[in-house]
Amino acid sequence: MLLDAEDSQLVLVDYQQRLMPALHEGAQALANAVRLARIAHRLGVTVWGTEQSPDKLGGNDPELRSLCKRTLAKQHFNAVADGLGEWLRPPARAQQGGNARSLPRHLQKAAPPPAPGPGTVVLAGCEAHVCLLQTALALIEEELDVWVVTDACASRTERNRDAAFDRLAGAGAELVTTEMVAFEWLASADHPEFKAVQALIK
């Protein structure tokens, strides 16, 4: 199975200014997250961000934050508990027209189903074994396809980061790298954005 840009959303979890210096390979993870967000913009993939207790840990890196459509301030480690799922799967549109309650039940139109939204979530973030892990597991529970970008994730220790990857793989997440995502979203060297995306990777 390959990623499809048209069925993908990108979620970037907690690349916060006060947190990043304490993380193992944090600068590299942030650089790859920014790269992913720029590639997503080129290819029409929506980018979301989250921030854990921003009043205490500060906001996300400003460049990365500017690339996100919206950024969710959260208190739970699992961003789904604070509403991320509603962003990824927007609610159904309100029914328009006359007052349906004035019609007999058999003439009333059924409420429209929820808007489907892309079913694949490409996810990266910090710390890998806490907020990223808990958010990814919750999204898998929500029956979304979760792809975790390993080289854009970080924890304070390498052991914690790698333990998170082991657990995520066991739970059904796909583990990928930034370049895997880029080239699968492109699908072909004939893509009009191929050279621009290639330049971002190099």
Kindly report, residue by residue over 28-46, the tens digit of the pLDDT.
999 999 999 999 999 999 9
CB 23 within 8 A of CB 127: yes
Per-residue pLDDT at 58 exceeds 90:
yes
Domains of the chain: 5-89+121-201 (3.40.50.850)
73-94: per-residue pLDDT in tens? Answer: 999 999 999 999 999 986 554 4
C-alpha closest to that of 52 among 86, 23, 14: 14
**C-alpha–C-alpha distance, residues 89 and 83, integer Å:** 10
Confidence of residue 109 (pLDDT cuts 50, 70, 90): low
DSSP string, 6-53: GGEEEEEE--BTTTGGGSTTHHHHHHHHHHHHHHHHHHT-EEEEEEES
Q: What is the pLDDT of residue 119?
A: 87
Neighbouring C-alpha atoms within 13 Å toward the C-beta of 174: 15
Confidence of residue 106 (pLDDT cuts 50, 70, 90): low
Q: 181 — phi, psi (to 5°)?
A: -60, -50
DSSP SS3 for 137: helix
Q: What is the pLDDT of residue 110?
A: 58
C-alpha closest to that of 45 among 72, 78, 67, 13: 67
Cα(first)–Cα(last) distance of the chain, in Å?
25
pTM (whole model) above 0.75: yes
Q: Assign residue 50 a region (left: φ > 0; alpha: ψ between -120 and 50; beta: otherwise).
A: beta
Query: In 10 A of CB 178, how many CB atoms?
Result: 21
Residue 109 CA: distances (Å) to CA of 4, 91, 93, 94: 34, 18, 14, 12
